Chain A
Amino acid sequence: MNPAAFYPSAVDYLRFLPELILTIGGVLLLVLEALTGDNKDKTSLGYVAIAVVLGAMFAVPVALANPGTSFNGMLVSDGFAAFFRMVTLLVGLFTLLCSTSYLSREKANSGEFYLLVLFSLAGQGIMAASNELIMVFLGLEIASISSYVLAGFLRDDKRGSEAALKYFLLGSFATAFLLYGISWIYGVTGATNLVAIRESLAAGTSGNSMAVAAAALMMIGLAFKVSAAPFQVWAPDVYQGAPAPVSGFLSAGPKAAAFAIFLRIFQTSFESFSSRYEPVLWILALATMLVGNFSALWQSNVKRMLAYSSIAHAGYVLVAVTTNSNVGTAAAMFYLAAYALMNFGAFAAITHLAGRGESHVTIDDLKGLASKQPVMAGLLTVCLLSLTGVPLTAGFFGKFYIFKAAIDNHLYWLSALGLLNSAIAAYYYLRVLSAMYMHDSKTTDHPEPVPGGIQLTMWVSAAGILTLGVFPGLVLDYANRFATFVK
C-alpha cells in the first residue's frame, strides 16, 4: 500500500469534524469536571456541552461540503450521514437543554452526565457515517456504553439501576449478534468495507447461504437496537426506568443512528439478496407495529406508554425499510427527523411535569393540565397530535411518505394494516389529551415554573412539527436528494 495514501490527510479530518469536536469537547469536560470542586454547581458544564453540540452542528455542513470517504474508506461523508448527524445532534441538544434543570432537581448534578451525552453523540455520528463494519461496531459500542451509564445515572433510584442493567445485558447480547454476523461476513467475503462486501457478493465468488445467515445475524442485532418486535422487550423497562430526558434521548437519537446503519448496510452490502430478506422485514414491521400499539393501549404510566409508542413508530420506519427503495429511505429519514421532534417534545414535557423524583408520571397526574398550564398543554398537544398522525403536523407527512413508498412498491397489505394500526394508536394518545383537557385537576397547588431549557425545547419541537406539517419539503427534498448510497 502506498504510504502517502495510508496517512490521513487534512480533508479526512474535515469529514470527521463533528465527531472530532464532540470527542475533544467530551475530554475537555472530563478535565473541567475534575477541576471543579465536588460541591460546586455543575450547571455551567451543561452550557459548555451545549456549546460543543452547537459547534458540532456547525461542523456538519463543513463535513458535507467535503464529500467522500476518509481514513481509507472507513468513514464516509455524504448527505445521508450529514442528515443523521444533524438529527442525533438535535436530539442531543434537546437532551442537554432539558437535563440541566432536571439534574439539579434530582440533586444529581455532576458533570459526567454531559460528557456521556457528548460521547454517545460521537458514537452515533460514527454510526451515521460509517462505511465499514468495524466502524459500525465501534460507533455502536461508543454510543451504547455511554447510554447504559446514562440510563442508570440516578444511582439511588432502583428502577433506574434496573433499567441500566437490563439495557446493558440485552444490549451487549444484541451487539454480540451483530459482531458474530460481522465475523461471518468477513469470513465469507474477506472484507469489512460495505462496498467491498457488496462487490464480493455480487461477483458470486463467495458462499451465498453463509452470507444470508450473516445478514440474518446482523439483522437481529440491529433489530434489538431499533427495538423491533420480537426483540423489543428491553425498551419499555429501560425507557420507564431511565431519567426522563435520557428516555427521550434513547428513544430518538440512538434509534435514528441504528436505523441509519440498518439502511446503509442492507441497501449497500446485502442489496443483491434483498428479495430474501424482504419477507422477514415485512413480518418484523407488522409485528413491531402491532406489539407497540396494542401494548401501549393498556399503560397508565406515560413514560411506559411513550416507550411502547416508540416501538410502534419503529414499526412504521421498518415499513419504509421494507420497501428497499430510495423513496423508502427518504421517507424513513423524514420520519426519524419528525419523530425526534415530536417524541422528544413529549418527553420534555414529562421531564418537567413528573416533578421531583419523577413521582407524577401517570396519565391521571396530567389531569387538568390544560387549565393550570395552558401553554404547556398546548405544546404537548401538538406533539401528541403529531404522534397520532393528524394532518398539518410533521407526523402526518411522515406516515404519508412511508406508506406512499410502501404502496409505490406494491406493499398494499402492509400499508393497509399499518395505517389501521395508527388508528388504534389514536386511542392511547387521546387518553393523554382527554386527561389534560377533559378532566379537572386532582390537586390545587400551583404549578412550578417551567425551566427555560425545557420551554425552549418544547417551543422548538412544536414549531418544527407545525412547519414540517405545512412545508414538509424543507426536509423531504433534502432526504430525497441524499437517499442514495455510494455503491
Chain B
Amino acid sequence: MNILAILLLLPLIGFAAALVLPAAVTKRFVLGFSLLIFAVSLLLIGTTMQSPGGMTWVTDTAWIDTPAIRFHIGVDGASLWLVILSAFLIPIAAYISQRTIVHRQKEFYAYLLLLEFGLIGVFSSLDLLLYYVFWEVVLVPMYFLIGIWGGERRIYAATKFFVYTMAGSMLMLVAILYIYTKAGTFDLPAILLQMEAGKVAFTQAEELALFLAFFLAFAVKVPIFPLHTWLPDAYAEAPTAATFLLAAVMSKMGTYSLLRFNLNLFPKASHDCAPWIVVLAIIGIVYGALVALVQPNMKRLVAYSSISHLGFVVLGLFSGNQFGLDGAVYQMLCHAISTGALFILIGFLQERKQSLEIADFGGLATPAPNFAIVFLVATLASIGLPLLNNFVGEFLILQGAAKANIWWAAFAALGVVLSACYMLWFYQRTFLGEAKAAFTDLRPAEWLTITPLLVLMLWMGIFTQTWLPGISASNKVLLERPTSKIALQVAQ
C-alpha cells in the first residue's frame, strides 16, 4: 500500500473518529493521532530523495468516469516538504490549543484533522479537479475555526475569508474546465506531456486568460497586494492555532500552486506577466513592511510582515531562474517555521496578559529571560540573520531576482531593511525597558512546543543540503521542460 495515499486518508479517518469519540478524549486523541500522521509522513523522505525530480509515491486510479477525474497523487522534491510541513504543524497547532480552547473542544480538534486532510491533498494532487476539490475543502474547517473560536469580529473575518477565497477560485474552475475542453483530461502530467508534444497549444490570448484565472485564485490565497484585505482581519481574529496555520501553511497553498500550475502550464504567460507581478510583489514587500511598522497590535504586525515575506516568495517564483525558484520554495518552508514560531510565542503572550496590544507589554526580559531569548531567536530568524533559516531563502531569492533584473533585487532588498526595523522595534517595546509586572517565564510544556521550531530554524539556516537538493531537482525539471525553457529562460 502506498504511504502517501495512507497519509492522505489518515486525517479523514481521524476526523470521523474524533466526531464519534466521547468529548473527553478528543483532545488527546487528536494530538496523538496527528503525531502518528507526522511520523508516517517522515517515511516518505527516503524514496522521494532518491529521485526528487520526478513524482514518487504515485497513486493513479480512476475516481469518476465521466468526465474522467482521476485520483492521482504524488510528491516530488518540492511538494514532499510541504506535505511534511503540514503534518508537522498540525500537532503543534493541537498542542498550543490545549490551554486556550476551552469550549467546544471536540469540534475544534476534529476540524484540525479535516484541515490536514485538505492540506495534504492540495500539496499532493496531480489531477486538476482533484486538486480543486481539496482546495475548497480546506475552506470549510478554517471557516469554522475562525468563526467559532475567534475574537470579537470573528464572524465578519470568517465570512470575508470564505467568500473572498471562493470568489477567487471560481474563475479557476472555469479555467480548469476550459483546459479540459482543449486537452480532454484533468490530469496534470498528461496535460504537460501533451503540451510538450505540441498536441495541446494555447493561443496567446487564451494562455493569458487562463493564467490570470489561476493567478487570481492563488493571489487571493497568498495574498498578493492588492488582494490582501481579508488577511489582517482573518489573522487578527482567528484563534492562535488557526492564525498559526493560516500563516504557516495555508499561504503556501497559494505560492505552491503558482509554482505547480501557473509556471508549469503557462510558461509564456508567466514570462509575459512576470514584470507586472513582480511589481505587485515588491509593492507587497514594502507596503506590508511599512504597515507592520505602525501596527499597535502584535498579531496584526506579524500578519502584515507575512504579506511582506510572501512578496519575496512571489518575486522568487517569477524571476524564472533556478536561484529564484529554489529560494522561493525554501522561503516557503522557512517562513512557515519562523512566522509559525512567532505566532506561537505571541499566543503565549496573549495567554498570560489577555492582550495583543504591544503597549500593554514591556520589559518582559527581566522577569522572563528565557522567553526573551527564544523570542529574540525567532525575531532574528524572521529578519533574515545569517545562520538562521530565512537568510538562505531571501538570499537565494534576491540572487535570482538580481539575475533577472537588478532593479527588482534593489527594491526588494528594501523589505529586508524594513523588516529589521519593525521586528527589532517590536522586540524592544515588548521585552526591553523596565519591567512592569510579574511575568511567567516559559513553562516546560511551552519549551516542548517551541524547541522543534528553534532547532529547525538553525538546521535550515546551516545545513541547507538537507533540503535544497530535492527542491532544486524538482525546479530543474520545470525549468528544463522544452516549453518553459523557451519562455522562462529567455528573460535572462
Contact = CB atoms under 8 A, between A and B. Distances in A.
Interface of A: 371, 385, 390-392, 396, 400, 403-404, 407-408, 412, 415-416, 419-420, 422-424, 426-427, 430-431, 433-434, 437-439, 471-473, 476-477, 480
Interface string B123-141: 0000001001110110110
B159 A427 contact: yes
B66 A473 contact: yes
Contacts of A396: 133, 136
B415 interface: no
Given A404-B67, A407-B178, A472-B64, A438 B170 contact: no
B181 interface: yes
A83 B319 CA distance: 55
Given A390-B139, A408-B181, A427-B163, A438 B158 contact: yes
Given A391-B132, A437-B144, 6 more contacts: A396-B133, A407-B177, A416-B170, A434-B158, A437-B147, A473-B65
14 contacts: A391-B133, A391-B137, A407-B178, A416-B170, A419-B173, A427-B163, A430-B159, A434-B155, A438-B147, A438-B154, A438-B158, A476-B66, A477-B65, A477-B66
B137 A390 contact: yes
Contacts of B148: 437-438
A272 to B, nearest CB: 26
A426 B180 CA distance: 26
A477 B66 CA distance: 8
B155 A419 contact: no
B173 to A, nearest CB: 6
B162 interface: yes
A473 B64 contact: yes
Contacts of A392: 133, 137
A371 B178 CA distance: 43
B99 interface: no
Given A426-B162, A430-B143, A416 B180 contact: no
B443 interface: no
B171 interface: yes
B147 A422 contact: no
A439 B156 CA distance: 12
Nearest to A420: B170
Interface in B254-284: none
B274 to A, nearest CB: 25
Contacts of B167: 420, 423-424
Contacts of B133: 391-392, 396
Contact of A430 (B136, B162, B178): B162
B42 interface: no
A407 B132 contact: no
Contacts of A480: 66
Given A391-B136, A434-B147, A438-B155, A404 B180 contact: yes
Nearest to A430: B159
Contacts of A424: 163, 167
B229 to A, nearest CB: 16
B174 interface: yes
Contacts of A426: 162-163, 166
A416 B174 contact: yes
A137 B141 CA distance: 48
Nearest to B134: A391
Q: How large is the interface on B (under 10, 10 to 19, 20 to 34, 35 or more residues)?
A: 20 to 34
A248 B274 CA distance: 51
Contacts of B104: 371
B136 A407 contact: no
B12 to A, nearest CB: 10
A420 B140 contact: no
Contact of B140 (A390, A416, A431, A438): A390
B174 A403 contact: yes
Most-contacted residue by chain A among B140, B159, B173 (CB, 10 A): B173
A437 B174 CA distance: 32
B301 to A, nearest CB: 26
Contacts of B64: 471-473
B187 to A, nearest CB: 16
Contacts of B180: 404, 407
Given A404-B177, A437-B144, A390 B66 contact: no
Interface in B178-194: 178, 180-181
Contacts of A430: 143, 158-159, 162-163
Nearest to A409: B181
A419 B170 contact: yes
A412 B66 contact: no
B163 A419 contact: no
A52 B62 CA distance: 40
Contacts of A434: 147, 155, 158-159
Contacts of A420: 167, 170-171
A385 B143 CA distance: 12
Contact of A403 (B136, B158, B173): B173
A34 B288 CA distance: 77
Contacts of A400: 129, 173
B137 A416 contact: no
Contacts of A407: 174, 177-178, 180-181
A472 B143 CA distance: 26
A431 B170 CA distance: 20
A471 B71 CA distance: 12
Interface in B101-154: 104, 129, 132-134, 136-137, 139-140, 143-144, 147-148, 154
B65 A415 contact: no
A107 B154 CA distance: 42
B104, B132, B177: residue with the most chain A Cβ atoms closer than 10 Å: B177
* Residue picked from B104, B132, B136, B166, most chain A C-beta under 10 Å: B166
A450 B155 CA distance: 28
A412 B174 contact: yes
Which of A392, A407, A415, A480 is most buried by chain B, counting CB atoms within 10 A of its CB?
A407
Given A404-B67, A415-B177, A438-B154, A422 B159 contact: no
A371 B107 CA distance: 11
B88 to A, nearest CB: 25
B82 to A, nearest CB: 20
Contacts of B134: 391
A438 B132 CA distance: 27
Q: Sorted from nearest, which 8 A-B pairs have the closest CB atoms?
A: A423-B167, A391-B133, A419-B170, A407-B177, A438-B147, A423-B166, A391-B136, A434-B155
Contacts of B147: 433-434, 437-438
B316 to A, nearest CB: 30
B20 to A, nearest CB: 12
Contacts of A423: 163, 166-167, 170
Given A404-B67, A430-B143, A415 B174 contact: yes
Contacts of B129: 400
Contact of B136 (A390, A408, A437): A390
Interface in B375-422: none
Nearest to A410: B181
Contacts of A473: 64-66
Nearest to A399: B173
Contact of A416 (B66, B155, B162, B171): B171
A431 B162 CA distance: 12
A30 to B, nearest CB: 45
Nearest to B135: A391
Contacts of B159: 427, 430-431, 434
Contacts of A431: 159
Nearest to A406: B177
A423 B180 CA distance: 22
Nearest to A439: B155
A422 B66 contact: no
Nearest to A476: B66
Interface in B202-245: none
